[in-house]
Amino acid sequence: MTKIKIVTDSSVQMTNEEIADLDVTVIPLSVMIDNTVYIDGVTIQRDEFVKKMSTSESLPKTSQPAVGTILETFNKLTADGSSVLAIFLAESLSGTVNSGRQAAEMCDGDVTVIDSEFTDRAQAFQVIEAAKLAQTGADMDTIVAAISQVRSNTTLRMAVVNLTNLVKGGRLSKAAGMITSLLNIKITLSMENGKLDILKKGRGMKTIKAFREDVIQHMSQLPNVKSVGVSYVAIKDKAEEIGAEISQAVPGVEMLVRPTGPIVATHAGEGAFAIMYYQG
């Protein structure tokens, strides 16, 4: 039986223990801050990135791994006859999945590339399921079908409290950014079919408070929430508070509260957070 090895990118939200225990290979993305290039998770860690971002002269620029870097990883992992299943962040957020597809075509080994249609912990739900199945000896079709099911049952909700980075990054016009800043506008988003869409706009933090209460209330009414992730940018105490509220509303649910990676942090800005979960 052919062994299947799981690959993902560093936007994924997984602990070092999960990555090691599940034997997942993580290909790092890179980020440039004031003309200095850092390798995500290698030469810069998430907390350090947020600190540098807050004092940088311009908005950091993130970039996907080069096709050659991905190809090198694929060739190395398939050299012993193993197959590779690569699960990358949403195409709408990064060109990584397209680079992965190009590398797969050039690789001599058997490689399957999947667009997770998510990022962060929502992406990790698929990676973890795939890795667990691979360890049991499941075949590629079985694993791909299983993670498709996880993807279909995953929810990502996000709150952005400061629109400065969205404006700087070109995700929002400067004129709109000035207006929303003056009005103290906050926005909430959802990720559906691989794309971020605005759910609501509102004034002040009451919008964010209502959003968080609504998400947790909805989650508490679901019968089979299997795992939850709370990711954040520079609001550790508040994120842990949200995690505690979820634990109270959905007792016994598996949960991970951690800072998000450079891609989300760069565009969402300080104070942003996301609640992600999937139903088993």
Closest of 255, 269, 268 to residue 121, by C-alpha:
255
Mean pLDDT of 74-97: 96
Radius of gyration of the chain (CA): 19
pLDDT of residue 50: 87
pLDDT-based confidence at residue 95 (cuts at 50, 70, 90): very high
What is the helix (H) or strand (E) element at residue 64, kind and residue range? none
**3 state SS of 139:** coil
The amino acid sitting at 109 is: G
Q: What is the pLDDT of residues 137-187, one digit of tens each?
A: 999 999 999 999 999 999 999 999 987 777 666 655 555 555 556 567 888
What is the helix (H) or strand (E) element at residue 51, kind and residue range? helix 46-55
Return d(Cα 192, Cα 166) in angstroms, integer. Answer: 19
- Supply the pTM of this predicted model: 0.93
DSSP state of 172: S
